[in-house]
Each structure stands twice: as structure tokens, then as C-alpha cells.
Amino acid sequence: MTPGESLLVPRLSSDGSSLRNEDEDEALLTGQRTHRRDEGRRGWGFWREVGMFAWAFIATAIVIVLAVVYQHETKAHNVSDGTWGPNGKPTGKRNLIFMVSDGMGPTSLSMTRSFRQLTEGLPIDDILVLDQHHIGTSRTRSSNSLVTDSAAGATAFSCGLKSYNGAISVLPDHSPCGTVLEAAALAGYKTGLVVTTRLTDATPACFSSHANLRSYEDSIAEQQIGQNPLGKVVDLMMGGGRCHFLPNTTEGSCRGDDRDIVDIASKNGFSYLQTRAEFDALNGGSAVKLPLLGLFANTDIPYEIDRRSQNDVYPSLEEMARTALNALSEATRDSEQGFFLMIEGSRIDHAGHGNDPAAQVHEVMAYDRAFAAALEFLEKDSTPGVIVSTSDHETGGLSAARQLHTSYPEYLWYPQVLANANHSSEYAGAKFTEYTSGEGKGHDDSKKKSYVRKTLLEKDLGITDASDEELEAIIHAKPGVPPTYVFADMISRRAQIGWSSHGHSAVDVNIYASSKKDAWPLLGNNENTDVGSFLADYLDLNVAAVTKKLQSSAYWSTSGDASSDQEKYSWMGNPLGSNVQTESFDSYHGDFKKRSLDDCGCGGLH
């Protein structure tokens, strides 16, 4: 068809008639001559048609040949059978960096992006590093609820299997499941954990221990330094949670017994660090001696919004991540295997539980910087590797919108309110408790309100228009509504940030990766267990073999005198009661009021 020729106008045949006959159509399609009276007369139109057909035939043949050659070359350079992805699964030495943004949902990114653009004077198209590496989403349900907790969520990552809320790498039948970190260690990889919460908290615990409930943090600490059926599997640990490693005869301990886990770890070869100066002496990782146990806070490392003013006391997530990456890289320089490192931005989740948007934006930015640091390491390091990042769940039911009144809402939210805050609501709440139990203990309401208004609200949280009702709610807190919740709500209302819960939600969470081609199996929407399967597959690990080995240690004991007389798997703590569902969802039965924590079967708040 010539340019401008209408599809509705019949094309002329070679003899000038308005319609081709069947013989001529067949000739053009097959190349066979037709038997017409004037077949000896061949005009320009006929030869043009023949030439075009011949060219099309030759071009098609060339394309087919090139496709066959390309497919052959791809297979020749690809160890995959085609099921892994376009580039195939890598072979040889490799590293895997798995990052968890605990409690971070899609709205956390939206809120932080707008906050950063405002505070740093950036254009609207300037986005977070994470935004540039978004490849998919993850569905987060556990085996007993559509709303998971961190323990079940992290078990899906570590074991690649579903379990119940509260389970630390334990299956619904209360048997242990092998983790990707354990399998990596047994396969010769160096391993590490870097977190900003307690090392015994759910996510790091799920990669390095096994417990029927996440609340068994004393046992988790013991297992992390090697007191488990597999022995030592973690080479490097950095974070908080010192209190679970110290005997209850020591100041600052939160253990229920007098076991000194730090001393046991030191006797088993661990280098032990607890101060900023000792961390700095690691020289960015070049002076690390493995195995290493770094406990830089008694419980959780402070929120980034608070830590930044205590930089001489606590290292940041980015600093710990860079040090761990360099240390593990150096430790595997001459080995055939690389390393597996799990890095968690743990306290994004805590900010969600507290409904504190000011704390959360700083936590997300700190995580984004750690992700950027890992990318930089990967680009410079000679060993191939991949970074995969995702969240175990979303926390708080966060919304970048809030209706303050019964009238139809205006479409607004104000990041400047978050920028005005110098500290978190947790920080302000702790100062209020210290004040009321100390110098302000005998003060009347007027003096207390003055302290709250001038010191906590104006100086720490940047709020200058507190109402009398808000001040009253702080100094005369109602049951279930501590001052920290009031502080956070005051910021959220002024910023017009909404929250639906102090707990988790069932929203799908994002998956990020250093490269789409290297994390190709995780493109699109996935089950959270798919993330765990990818981690094991990428490193060619046999997690099932580790599970078998753990389950054969049903009667293992730290004392070494285990026998079948004791309860099966007693080393993982007491199993749950029969009233806790581990594999099926509960249904609505009139309990529209909040249950007590004793009834939740979750083993903890987070």
C-alpha cells in the first residue's frame, strides 16, 4: 500500500481491474505462476510485487538465523536452563546482601520522599535511591493470620516457609527449619547480621536461632554465639541488645538468669565491642577480627532523629553496614566462597508502632543511605553479588493524608511539621518520665504544663501551639494512651498524617534490588517465601539439609546430657498452648474490642 492509500479503496490488479482474482492472489502468496492469457506480459507492478515478496522472504530467513545463533550463544554462556532468568544464575564465588526495612510500607517512601525534597530543597523528580531500584512487591500473610508479625515474616525470608506469628524459624508443628544463613555458614560462606534494634529481636533471631516464641530472647542470645545444635554460624554481629547477653547480677541486664553470654562468647573466640571508640578502632572493617560481637546499646540503638545528636556514642546503620561489608569482604578475599550479610533498618517498625512520622522519615532516610552504601560496595568489589531489599510487613497503617474534622477534608499534608521536630516522641516521653520522677515530682499541674510546653513541645518536637486539652492528656495520661502516643499524635495531626493502627497491616510491601537482571525471579508480585527461596537459590544452598540436621537434634541440650526423656525440641522453649492456632485463620466472633496481649499468642508487640 502506497503512502496515503486508503484501506477502504480496493487495490487494482495487474490487468487494471478493481479486484484481484484468486489466481493472482495465490501467485503473490506462493510465488507460483498463474495461467492467464496475458501471462507473457509482465509490467512493472508485477515485478515490484515479486521483488517485495523475495525481500520479505530473505529478511525473514535472516531474522530466524540470527535468533537461532543468539539462542545458541546464550545457552553456551549461561549455566541456567532458562528457568532462572534472562542472564541465568551466576556461578563461582559470589556475595549476597539481604536488607530488611522492618515495618516500611509504600506510604513510608511517599512521606519520606516529600519530606526530603522539602528539607533539602530538591526538585520533585529527585527521588530516593530505593525508588530507583524498585522491582516488585511481596505478599506478607503468615500461616495463622493475614496480618503477619516480624517473626513469621522473617521466618519466610530465612527458611523460605510460612509459619505462625511469633515463630523464630520454627514451623507450625514446632519443629525447626534451617535458615539461609545457617546453610551459608555450613557451605563455607562468611555470615553477618547488622541491625539497629536488639540482636535478639525477631528479624536477626530468625536467621541465627530457633525458638517457639520470639519472646525467648535469652535463649536466642545463647544460640547466636554458638550454643545450638549447629554450633557457631554467625561470624559478625552488630547492633543493640546488650542486656540479654549480661547476667542478671550485672547492672543493665534483662536476662532471667545469671549466665554471662558475653563471657561465653569471648571464650569461644568472639571479639567483643560495646563502645563507639571500639567501633571506630575497627577502621572501617580493615581491623576486624572474626568472629565479632558488637553490642552498642543496652536495648535498641536510638532512633536516627535522636542518634544524630549522640553520634559520639552510637554508630549509624550506614557506618555499621560499611564496616561489616568491608570486614566480610576482607575475610573472604582468598576463599572460594563469598559472604551472606543481613542488614536491617529495624526501627522504621518502631516508629510505625509509635505512630511517629518525624522519627520514621529519618529512619527511612538512614536505611536509604545504608542501601546506597551497599550499592557502592557492590560496584567496587571484585566479587559478583546482589542486593535484595524488602520489608517483613507494613506498620501503623500509614496514610499521607488525614481528616481532622467532620467537614469535607482539604487535600493537604505538611512535611514542614516533621522538619520542625528535633527529636522523637520516644525521646520526649523518656524526658517526661525522668522529669516527673525527679525534679518535677512535687510540681503542680501549672509547672508541669510549663515544662512540657517549653522544653518538650517547643524545643524537642517543634510544636508551639499546644492546646490545654493536649497538655492535660500528657500530664494526666489515660490508660493505654501514654505521653509518647500523645506527642506523636500531636505531630501527626498538625502534619495531617494518618494512622489506622499501632500494630501491623496486611498491605503488600516493596521489593528492591541492585539489579533487575540479577534478581529477575523477584520481578512483579511475590509471596514473601519467594524472597527466601531466592536467597537460597542465588547461593546454591541446601536449606532442606540443614532442616533435616536440626530436626535430628530433637533432644539436643547445652549441657550435653540430652536424652529422649526430655520433651522434644525443648531447647527451643516451651511450645505454644493448644489454644493458639498456628496454621489456620481465626474468624470474627464478636470480639470487636481489643484483646489483651496475653491472648494474642504473638510473643511480643512487634
| Distances in whole angstroms, Cα of residue 452 to Cα of each of 221, 458, 466 | 39, 8, 10
Q: Yes or no: say if 562 and 556 are a contact pair by the CB < 8 Å rule.
A: yes
- By DSSP bridging, strand 394-395 and strand 504-505 are antiparallel
Catalytic, out of 138, 150, 219, 492: 150
Q: Which amino acid is at 91?
A: T
Separation between Cα atoms, residue 142 and residue 146, nearest integer Å: 6
Query: Is residue 150 among the annotated active site residues?
Result: yes
Q: Which amino acid is at 484?
A: T
Q: Which amino acid is at 488?
A: A
Torsion (CA) 598, 600, 605, 606 in degrees, nearest 10 = 160
Phi-psi region of 231 (alpha: psi -120 to 50; beta: other; left: phi over 0): left
User: Residue 330 class from Cβ within 10 Å (0-12 exposed, 13-18 middle, 19+ buried)?
Assistant: middle
Q: Which amino acid is at 554?
A: A
Separation between Cα atoms, residue 539 and residue 93, nearest integer Å: 9
Q: Yes or no: say if 541 and 188 are a contact pair by the CB < 8 Å rule.
A: no
Which three cell numbers mark 404?
481532622
User: Residue 504 class from Cβ within 10 Å (0-12 exposed, 13-18 middle, 19+ buried)?
Assistant: buried
At what angle are helices 468-475 and 483-495 packed, to 10 degrees?
Answer: 150
- By DSSP bridging, strand 385-390 and strand 95-100 are parallel
- By DSSP bridging, strand 134-139 and strand 509-513 are antiparallel
| Distances in whole angstroms, Cα of residue 342 to Cα of each of 64, 207, 212, 362 | 46, 8, 22, 21
Whether a cis peptide bond, with omega within 30° of 0, leads into 357 is no
Least Cα distance to 222 among 270, 189, 190 occurs for 270
Provide the annotated active-site residues: 150
